[in-house]
Structure 1
Amino acid sequence: MNYHNLGQSGLKVSEFGFGAGTFGGQGPIFSAWGQASLNDAQRMIDLCIDQGVNYFDTADAYSNGASEQMLGALLQSKRQEVIISTKVGIRLNDGINQGGYSRSYLIQAVEASLKRLGTDYIDVLQLHQFDSTTPLEQLMRSLDDLVRSGKVRYIGASNFSGWQLMKAQTIAQQQGYEKLSVHQVYYSLIGRDYEWELMPAQHDQQIGAVVWSPLGWGRLTGKFDREHAIPKQSRLHKTEQFAPLVQHEKLFAVLDVMQEIAMETEHSIPQIALNWLKTRPTVSSILIGARNERQLLDNLAAKEWSLSVEQLARLDAVSAVYPPYPYYPYWNGQFTEKNPTLVTSAFISEHTAE
């Protein structure tokens, strides 16, 4: 297993982490993600640790806290060997102050997560989404207080836009508060919007990316293609309303190239998707959210080999999309129909993953 710095923190995290969204199985989203039994979950945790995984991610919103409870209990005997990351901020009930990042709720949410996880401290606390009602000055001070109290060791965000991330980081720097070390983002071969603004911003600010849904919400599992439609019982039908839109022709074009490379390498479609991601700039860890032992072992096998430069180039080309304003390079004439891989191509060629 390779290990990377989590941003500027100095904390070493495994190239592949484990996402515990499949633990608990409560509610319309998380029951579709997975319903691992306690024994299955323990087996997957043990396999991860045996394979060198040290980064385990959850959230208070996953199955109404059940994911935190299961993960905390299963890691209890390994607490000093692992990094536990959790997220807070999504509204869990109808109470008027039971969501967002007011000082009152943030402290309450952290205390509740600590209790469910059965630990005295959270290694990495992330803000699950942006809250426009709480001043960032207050929020960054509250996060700094949590770090100084010893209840949280490192802080980060999830699903922020570029300006939101930069404003939070600037306030922290100006006031001498703890700065963000990590940003948890959606990034995949069929979802490359991360590259337009967040990737350069995070490189500049030394904020590591932890990638969620690296298989594109299940679209890059290799279970379906042009000839094999999505089964009616697939979990994709239950979660597609939350997933970023991907045109079928674009998806199939990417899968065509992935299938070619799968035949060349004799490795699975998911391994190819994960292998591509591990070469990308700013990526500290890629979360694997396997539903069972077989999927987990197949995904973790991606750490054992690498794609060739030529194969990476083919994946880059087929997955590229025309970037939005102001990121498209209209001023230099580089973009052509035959060469659509632009926007971050120069940046990526100059900044390889650590």
Structure 2
Amino acid sequence: MQYRTLGGSGLKVPALILGTATFGGGTDFFRKWGETDAREASALVDLARDAGCTMFDTADSYSRGLSEEILGQAVRGRRHDLLIATKTGMAMGPGPNDVGTARSRIIRSCEDSLRRLGTDYIDLYQLHAFDAVTPVDEMLHALDSLTRAGKIRYAGVSNYSGWHLMKMLAAADRLGLPRPVSHQVYYSLVARDFEWELMPLGLDQSVGTLVWSPLAGARLSGRIGRNRPAPADSRAATDATWAVPDDRLYAVTDLLDALAAETGHSVPQIALAWGLGRPGISGIVIGARNADQLRNNLAAADITLTADQIARLDAASDTTPAYPYWHQRRTMSDRNPPPV
């Protein structure tokens, strides 16, 4: 397993990170992702660790805390050999202070996550979504308080727009507080919007990118393609996935099927290997309902695509950027080169 530096920090993280949203199945939504119990989770953690995948990503909102509880049980006795990332910000109850990233919520949520995980520190604590109601300065001071107290090692964000992230980075510099070291984003062969602004921003500002849903909500699992609708037992057949226009999906799956036949690698392995080769990617969060899925996904870390294969994948998945990015690309491409 390759280890990569997380943004401008000194922390080394594995290129592939095990996501634990499948742990628990404690709500109707997350039950469609998976229902991994503590025994099964422990086996997956063992398998991942043996492959060099020593970082695990969760969130307080995954099955209303059950994912954190199960992960905590699975890593008990070996916590200090592993990296744990979790998040806060999504709704955890009906109260007005049960959602968002106000100082009171961040600190209370961190304490709750520490208890559920059975640990006294979190390696990477991430704000799960931007809260436009709370001042950015307040969020940064709360994260700094947790860092000084030794409860979190590093802070990151997730699902921010470019101006949200830049505003937080600028505020951290102005206040002399630690910057977010990472941004967890939605990115895959069928969803490349991240490249238009967030990718160059991360490279410019040394913010490491962690990718969630690199297989587009199971649509790039190899079970779906032209004239192959999502099987009834697939997550992609439920509302717990992300919409992708059929023409875009099939242009990509047609090529992935062809490359799988050419190389002997599986469709998800090729899709993950493409993601690992993109600029600024510190790590990709993979999920698995069972050991076979996890082994298959972990094998992507050892695959190197050829320049021709990458070019074919880039072409098949290319889309016209939103304004003003198409204008920059068309009129000032020499001054706005793509990230490399």
Superposition TM-score, scaled by structure 1 size: 0.93
Q: Which residue of 1 aligns with 2:211?
A: 211
Q: Which residue of 2 aligns with 1:8?
A: 8
Quick one: distance in 1 between partners of 2:42 and 2:123? Answer: 21
Q: Which residue of 2 aligns with 1:347?
A: 338
The alpha carbon displacement at 1:28 in A equals 2.1
Gaps of 5+ in 1: 336-341
Q: Secondary structure at the match of 2:72?
A: helix
Quick one: distance in 2 between partners of 1:266 and 1:248? Answer: 25
In structure 2, relative to structure 1, the CA distance for the partners of 1:150 and 1:33 (3 Å cut) is: same
In structure 2, relative to structure 1, the CA distance for the partners of 1:147 and 1:331 (3 Å cut) is: closer
Q: 1:323 touches 1:343 (CA, 8 Å); kept in 2? A: no
Letter in 2 for 1:239: D
Matches for 1:1-354 after TM superposition, within 5 Å:
1-239=1-239, 243=242, 245-329=243-327, 332=330, 346-348=337-339, 351=340
Of the structure 1 ranges 321-330 and 49-58, higher mean CA displacement relative to structure 2 is found in: 321-330
Q: Which residue of 2 aligns with 1:338?
A: none
Of the structure 1 ranges 90-99 and 208-217, higher mean CA displacement relative to structure 2 is found in: 90-99
The alpha carbon displacement at 1:332 in A equals 4.2
Q: 2:38 touches 2:71 (CA, 8 Å); kept in 1? A: no
Q: Secondary structure at the match of 1:141?
A: helix
In structure 2, relative to structure 1, the CA distance for the partners of 1:6 and 1:331 (3 Å cut) is: closer
Quick one: distance in 1 between partners of 2:169 and 2:245? Answer: 35
The alpha carbon displacement at 1:329 in A equals 4.1
The alpha carbon displacement at 1:252 in A equals 0.6
Q: 1:327 touches 1:343 (CA, 8 Å); kept in 2? A: no
In structure 2, relative to structure 1, the CA distance for the partners of 1:325 and 1:332 (3 Å cut) is: closer
Q: 1:329 touches 1:343 (CA, 8 Å); kept in 2? A: no
The alpha carbon displacement at 1:106 in A equals 1.3
Quick one: distance in 1 between partners of 2:120 and 2:282? Answer: 25
Q: 1:28 touches 1:238 (CA, 8 Å); kept in 2? A: no
CA shift digits 1:12-43 (9 cap, x unpaired): 00000000000010112210000112222111
The alpha carbon displacement at 1:267 in A equals 0.5
Letter in 2 for 1:192: R
Of the structure 1 ranges 144-153 and 322-331, higher mean CA displacement relative to structure 2 is found in: 322-331
The alpha carbon displacement at 1:78 in A equals 1.5
Q: 2:223 touches 2:231 (CA, 8 Å); kept in 1? A: no
Letter in 2 for 1:305: I
Q: 2:38 touches 2:73 (CA, 8 Å); kept in 1? A: no
Letter in 1 for 2:274: W
Residues matched between the structures, number: 340
Q: Secondary structure at the match of 1:210?
A: strand
Q: Secondary structure at the match of 2:283?
A: strand
The alpha carbon displacement at 1:326 in A equals 0.5
Quick one: distance in 2 between partners of 1:208 and 1:330? Answer: 24
Letter in 2 for 1:107: I
Q: 1:29 touches 1:238 (CA, 8 Å); kept in 2? A: no
CA shift digits 1:195-230 (9 cap, x unpaired): 000001111111111100000111000102112122
Letter in 2 for 1:300: L
Superposition TM-score, scaled by structure 2 size: 0.96
Q: 2:218 touches 2:234 (CA, 8 Å); kept in 1? A: no
The alpha carbon displacement at 1:333 in A equals 6.0
Q: 1:147 touches 1:178 (CA, 8 Å); kept in 2? A: no
Quick one: distance in 2 between partners of 1:177 and 1:319? Answer: 39
Q: 2:65 touches 2:116 (CA, 8 Å); kept in 1? A: yes
Quick one: distance in 2 between partners of 1:6 and 1:78? Answer: 22
Letter in 2 for 1:311: Q
Report the RMSD for the aligned CA atoms in angstroms: 1.7
The alpha carbon displacement at 1:186 in A equals 0.5
